[in-house]
Amino acid sequence: VNVYRNHIPSIKLPADSLNVLRELSAKYTLALLTDGFLPGQQLKVQSLEIEKFFKCIVYTEQLGREFWKPSPAGFEKIMQKLNARPERMVYIADNEKKDFIAPNKLGFFTVQLILNACLHASASAEPGAKAQFIIHKISELPALLDRL
């Protein structure tokens, strides 16, 4: 387990995702909220070389496992770090079971990215778990954000 959690992953961001990150980071203030064991999540972020796109990165493991999503703590930490109001925030994620409950309650706009091979496309019975918007390609995101 230690090797799995602490290895340097050999991963690469898809070109379309990288292009969207470049475009959005030039236009908006971006933050990253990630759950999972801290060393593994930090190594993923480093391997993907995406730190430069985000003004703020919150690893919920640093707050405590009880603050992993769907806890609002990570979202609140981002708002605090960015001095941002919830109605100016947009949260994009894929997992309906845990990702949208807190940001919906806080008043964020929420967007679910459902890819063809998405592991989290099944519906959640949890009240408030549905995203307000759904996209099927990351390339659809800039146009959607321009409309919000």
pLDDT digits (tens, 9 = 90+) for 5-25: 566 767 899 999 999 999 999
Q: Is 15 helix (H, G, I), strand (E, B) or coil?
A: helix
Distance between CA atoms of residues 63 and 20, nearest Å: 29
Across the chain, mean pLDDT equals: 90
Average pLDDT over residues 25-41: 95
pLDDT in tens, 112-129: 999 875 555 556 657 788
Among the residue ranges 53-57, 72-76, 118-122, the one predicted with the least confidence is 118-122
CA distances 121 to 35, 113, 136, Å, are 18, 9, 11
For residue 128, give the DSSP letter.
Answer: T
Percent of the chain beyond pLDDT 90? 77
Domains and CATH numbers, the chain: 2-147 (3.40.50.1000)
Instruction: Copy the structure tokens of residue 39.
Output: 């060393």
